[in-house]
Amino acid sequence: MGGFVLRKLGAALIVLAIASLFVFLGIRALPGDPALALGGEDRDPQVLAQIRHDYGLDQPLPVQYVRWVGHALQGDLGQDQRSLSVAHTIIHKLPVTLELAALSVLIAIIIGVPAGVLAAVRRGKTSDYASTGVALVGLSVPHFWLGLMMIIVFAVDLHWLPAGDYVSISHPVANLEHLVMPAIVLGTGFSAVLMRQTRSAMLESMGADYVRTARAKGLSEWKVLGWHAFRNSLITVTTVIGLQLGALISGAVVTEQIFGIAGFGRLTIESVQQRDYTLIQGIVLVAAAGYVIVNLLVDLLYSVLNPRIRVSGRPT
């Protein structure tokens, strides 16, 4: 297993490096003078010269890159238009989004995985068609629209839940009240994907020879499906979860916008509206880094679940 972990770690680092390169070059690809872009609206030549010096814009590109990465690794992502530390702003807003994301993932797993198993086991029967149908609809609904609909129904018509804002976690009940709808909205697409993946993974393991062997041993259907088949499909399902994170981040951006939650997602929109390039740069980098790290963790989880990796270090 050690070899596997090291390989994945190495790959992750490379990917992170490439991603950071993309971000760096992306900002530099701006037409016009980067100093102008970084400085916002200020046109004062002295300020611009200062910016050039600060950011080392007079240096060759590779040097700039290294400097930037160096700073980033130390936690310094520069300053935004209002001269606030980008890193600080991001760290401040991140926990809100993380909580939202965690809740959504939880909801998605709780709903999606059992639904997928059920659909697979009852393949061809009504409950299969029903759950698959619901999942398909879940995939076809733009979740921001779902958010709007939910607001109309639950907040406007029924007055059950508040329409937005965020209450800190120190008030757990209110906190959850405010996060329930956004979490459900965000989790819907994810749970639909999970449900379908679980279903197809289950169907595949259910059709495998070893399931037939388990039946031939006289085990109850519960054991055959719930234990032998499911345990195998878990492996596939885990990898899917990692891949969906990108979509989760995208979803968070929109969801926060609709529900008026001041988190990482909303920050992203604001940064574009204000053309705050340093902020954008920091945000994109953090998002990419987060994705790579979480996927690394998912890979580790995968190695734990799959004995072929755990014991001999290579799949099959």
66 lies in the binding site for other proteins (CB under 8 A): no
* Binding range to other proteins, per CB under 8 A, among 52-60, 98-106, 144-152, 172-180: 144-152
Closer by beta carbon to other proteins, 73 or else 216: 216
Q: Is 152 in the site for other proteins (CB under 8 A)?
A: yes
- The piece of 40-48, 77-85, 167-175, 300-308 that touches other proteins (CB under 8 A) is 300-308
SS3 85: strand
Q: Is 121 in the site for other proteins (CB under 8 A)?
A: no
Q: Does 170 bind other proteins (CB under 8 A)?
A: no
Closer to other proteins at the Cβ: 175 or 246?
246
Q: Which is nearer to other proteins, 61 or 110 (CB)?
A: 61
- Is the distance from CB of 19 to CB of 288 less than 8 angstroms? yes
187-216 residues in contact with other proteins (CB under 8 A) are 208-210, 212-216
- The nearer residue to other proteins, 79 or 233, going by C-beta atoms, is 233
Q: Which residues pair with 79 in a beta bridge?
A: 85
Binding pattern for the stretch 245-264 against other proteins, x by CB under 8 A and - elsewhere: xxxxxx--xx--xx------
Out of 1, 5, 11, 167, point to the residue binding other proteins (CB under 8 A): 11
Query: Is residue 169 a contact residue for other proteins (CB under 8 A)?
Result: no
- Euclidean distance between CA atoms 274 and 41, whole angstroms: 10
Confirm if 87 and 75 have CB atoms less than 8 A apart: yes
Q: Which residues pair with 140 in a beta bridge?
A: none
Tell me if residue 122 falls in helix, strand or coil.
Answer: coil
Contact between 275 and other proteins by CB under 8 A: the answer reads yes
SS3 79: strand
Looking at 149, 169, 297, 304, which residue binds other proteins (CB under 8 A)? 149
Q: What CA–CA distance (Å, rounded) separates 309 from 316? A: 8
153 neighbors 144 (Cβ within 8 angstroms): no
Cβ burial, residue 229 (10 Å; 0-12/13-18/19+): buried
Class of residue 31 by CB neighbours under 10 A (exposed 0-12, middle 13-18, buried 19+) = exposed
Instruction: Determine which residue in the list 150, 181, 241, 287 makes contact with other proteins, applying CB under 8 A.
Output: 287
292 in contact with other proteins (CB under 8 A): yes
Scanning 59-67, 170-178, 180-188, 306-314 for contacts with other proteins by CB under 8 A, the matching segment is 306-314
**Touching other proteins, residues 14-43 (CB under 8 A):** 14-16, 18-19, 22-23, 26-27, 29-30
Which one, 171 or 212, has the nearer CB to other proteins? 212
* Residue count, binding to other proteins (CB under 8 A): 74
Q: Confirm or reject binding of residue 226 to other proteins (CB under 8 A).
A: no
Between CA 131 and CA 252 the distance in angstroms is: 25
List CB contacts of 266: < 8 A, sequence separation 6 or more: 93, 253, 256, 257
Q: What does the alpha-carbon distance between residue 247 and residue 243 come to, in Å, rounded to a whole number?
A: 8
Of 191, 163, 195, the residue nearest 179 (C-alpha): 163
